[in-house]
Copies of this chain bind each other. A is one copy, B any other.
């Protein structure tokens, strides 16, 4: 099946989440992606989550780098560096695309690369714009998210578990690569783009209007517990202890919720008493605690199976709190079209995802798990045109793995 990016060649020299996510996304859309690692693997090669039982397989590394060809090179040797530069700047209209998160390697600076291929499309991921390192958990603290998470005012910050900024940065990498390719196709000029994780986080909170609001308000937003900010949405416990997240952004969603819980008369009486118009999202937000208190007994009186079928019947916007083992069990039982088994080189079998972007209703192939250096020889021959004897010499001198 033809993928949109068939024909595009990308070289990736990046570790951890953001850069590899960008390359993986492009690979799933059909690009041919070569991942360059140092001999023995980069700092993320064995990262958790990793398979137990001594297989040496990292579920993390395998899943983020699936569908790429792997070449390992001694990045400290002049010969190795020459190979990296050659791969990144190989000729051809659909080559010359590089993703990296390199810091401080003078020989891989953009100007050194552009000297070899002026129309290079080069995307560099950074921590801070000046090159200092940052990670999701540090930039999230700096834009104020953990401080408004949780419910206890004045308590310690509550870190987010999901490295969201890493994932947003990863998709920004894919976007920046394709924007650069678009520009080059129209103008012939290369593009050097840089994306700092700290800027992605700052832009995220600014674009949601949160900085504007902090500026106007002059103090921090109070902690809201599990309530959705600016609307009505909160979690409810059912009689069996299972919980559901219920949201009413639109009038239709609100009406559905009121209707299924049989609370129409209660809210009709409350509106004049509280001088409120609950058809307004802002008003539902203001009165969120009251609304939740009125609705809570309905959920507490029903088991989750009943709650779920009634919410569905009434077309309420809701979601079930469920653990990842539950997600896995559902997939094992029914086969989620997005998910796929991933056979790791050490023998473990993981679960990974196909592309969440569907073409013609299809998620495509997830891509095979990588193995460090598995395609070293193939890449050297394909892209650099090296013959068997030359490649053998590189192995003998320990330049490639």
Q: How far is the CA of A228 from the CA of B231 in the complex (A)?
A: 31
Q: Which residues of B contact A397 (CB under 8 A)?
A: none
Among B133, B220, B319, the residue within 8 A (CB) of A142 is: B319
Q: A212-B342, A282-B48, A351-B206 are in contact. Are A322 and B230 (CB under 8 A)?
A: no
Flag whether A293 is at the interface (Cβ < 8 A). no
Among B4, B144, B244, the residue within 8 A (CB) of A326 is: B144
Q: A159-B245, A324-B144 are in contact. Are A202 and B356 (CB under 8 A)?
A: yes
By beta carbon, the residue of chain B nearest A144 is: B324
Q: Which residues of B contact A158 (CB under 8 A)?
A: 149-150, 158, 226
Q: How far is the CA of A245 from the CA of B221 in the complex (A)?
A: 21
Q: Is the interface of A mostly helix, strand, loop or mixed?
A: mixed
Q: Which residues of B contact A148 (CB under 8 A)?
A: 161
Flag whether A194 is at the interface (Cβ < 8 A). yes
Flag whether A336 is at the interface (Cβ < 8 A). yes
Is A338's CB under 8 angstroms from B218's CB?
no
Q: How far is the CA of A148 from the CA of B320 in the complex (A)?
A: 15
Taking the closest CB of chain B, its distance from the CB of A300, in whole angstroms, is 13
Is B157's CB under 8 angstroms from A243's CB?
yes
Is B139's CB under 8 angstroms from A319's CB?
yes
Q: Which residues of B contact A25 (CB under 8 A)?
A: 172, 175
Q: Which residues of B contact A43 (CB under 8 A)?
A: 249-250
Taking the closest CB of chain B, its distance from the CB of A386, in whole angstroms, is 29
Q: How far is the CA of A16 from the CA of B208 in the complex (A)?
A: 10
Flag whether A321 is at the interface (Cβ < 8 A). yes
Q: Which residues of B contact A206 (CB under 8 A)?
A: 63, 338-339, 351-353
Among B29, B138, B161, B354, the residue within 8 A (CB) of A179 is: B29
Among B135, B200, B351, the residue within 8 A (CB) of A215 is: B351
Q: Which residues of B contact A291 (CB under 8 A)?
A: none
Q: Mask for A330-344, Cβ within 8 A of B = 1, else 0? A: 011000111100100
Is B175's CB under 8 angstroms from A207's CB?
no
Is B323's CB under 8 angstroms from A137's CB?
no
Q: How far is the CA of A285 from the CA of B48 in the complex (A)?
A: 9
A208-243, CB < 8 A from B: 208-221, 224-226, 228-231, 233, 235, 237, 243
Is A207's CB under 8 angstroms from B359's CB?
no
Is B157's CB under 8 angstroms from A207's CB?
no
Is B162's CB under 8 angstroms from A164's CB?
yes
A333-374, CB < 8 A from B: 336-339, 342, 348, 350-361, 363
Extra contacts, 13 of them, besides A24-B207, A147-B323, A192-B359 (Cβ < 8 A), are A5-B182, A6-B183, A48-B213, A137-B233, A137-B247, A141-B245, A144-B322, A144-B324, A162-B204, A193-B359, A195-B358, A203-B354, A212-B350
